[in-house]
Amino acid sequence: MRSLYTLLLYLATPLVLLYLSLRGLRSADYFKRWPERFARFDPPPQTGGIVVHAVSMGEVNAASMMVQELARRFPNDPLYFTTLTPTGSTRIRELFGDTVFHVYAPFDLPTVVRRFLDRVRPRMLIIMETEIWPNLYHEAAARGIPILIANARISERSIGGYRRLQRLTGSALRKVTRICAQSPVDRERLLEVGATEPQITVTGNMKFDVRMPPSLNEEGEAIRAAWGSQRRVLVAGSTHEGDESALLAAFTRMLPKFPEALLVLVPRHPERFTRAAQLARQAGLAVALRSAGMSCPAGTQCFVVDAMGELLRFYAACDVAFVGGSLEAIGGHNVLEPAALAKPVVVGPHTENFAEITEQLLGCGAAVRVADDAQLEMALSRLLSQPEERDWMGRAGFELVRSGQGAVTRTLELVEAALTATTG
């Protein structure tokens, strides 16, 4: 199966490059640094460290505390951080600067993977969430390099695909030293697609271990003061077009009741910044852009954050947070960030990517689920009218996040055990 997979991957490589080119038409960063994807880069100053791989910005954020702790616990081991997307790359640079060696992850072709391992010579691979790369896993295991999957999860939406490819995924997973599952449900799904019982430990979800900078609440208060503390502010984070269309429809109907309200749109992808502003103007709203400055005149009805890496400060400034990717079949994005800031959370029906966490937030009363723009309007109108309910929901979410922490510590204990077993 791996030979067939490799053949198909070689045949598909031109299509992958075409895909990167098409993405590059919307985001020029996709045209850059192609040699890195074939493991052609200058070797790091020091080899023999720990590789951490995270697909994109969300996984980089989830891995950030673990990487900080790796640097503290293993000061003599250089850290290498790989990602697949420009947004992930930008976030790595924002968080770590030059303290980690960063390149794009190699395509999962045998010759490319070997070249990558030859240049970096890692003593461990840590893969965030469930990125299964058969050739990378095979080559690393053949060299005696331990592999750990951190924050492992398999969503209900993706389990069918893994089942169909079980011979391939199962053989790859059995090359892994340790799998740190987010939940008992993920543990059962991992067993179903080929992992073995001794490999898996349920360590919890590392995203609960989010640490908000101490200055973040102060930043949020400063933003609100500049905008006008009496304004009701709805922040919609990580939005896609389906989210924005529904939000704009609901928000425009709410304006007669809340004429001073402000909708803050934070699109998920930079190539959508212009389109989000266009949709808001088409809805008849007065629009201001973050790129023009932080000022938001009293007449502004929609503030579009056309910048990356700033969502948290706007969550800190809001009365209500809507988490995007949930009103269309994207699967939803990180609901823990606004909850950790003690903000009431609103989501749509599609939250498969954070299914268990969303259910926990709904169960403790920290979140509200809506099906469409009509229900969205009703929920937002109620929350914007009732500060006591907002405060209660925010406190409930904050306590849930605090009680779920500890996954990073449990994961690092397994990292240390795997490294000790290899060297000892």
Task: Count Cα neighbours of 91 within 13 Å in the Cβ-side half-sphere.
Answer: 24
The closest of 46, 344, 334 to 206, measured between CA atoms, is 334
List the end-to-end C-alpha distance of the chain, in Å, as a whole number.
34
Find the catalytic residue in 59, 139, 244, 328.
59
Secondary structure letter of residue 105 according to DSSP: P
CA nearest to 81, candidates 62, 60, 57, 61: 60
- DSSP lists the bridge partners of residue 104 as 83
Contact 152, 186 (CB under 8 A): yes
Please classify residue 160 by burial: count the beta carbons closer than 10 Å to its beta carbon, then call 0-12 exposed, 13-18 middle and 19+ buried: exposed
Q: Which residues are 303's β-sheet partners? A: 264, 288
Q: What share of the chain is helix, strand, coil (3-state, %, to 5)?
A: 50, 15, 35
Question: DSSP of 206-239, one letter per residue?
Answer: GGGG----TTHHHHHHHHHHHH-TTS-EEEEEEE
Sheet with 320-323: list strands edge to edge.
Answer: 287-289, 302-304, 262-267, 233-239, 320-323, 345-347, 367-369
Q: Tokens standing for 355?
A: 């299914």
Q: Please say if 399 is a catalytic residue.
A: no
Name the pairing type of β-strands 262-267 and 345-347: unpaired
Q: Are 165 and 158 in contact (CB under 8 A)?
A: no
Strands 320-323 and 345-347 turn out to be: parallel
Which positions are annotated as active-site residues?
Answer: 59
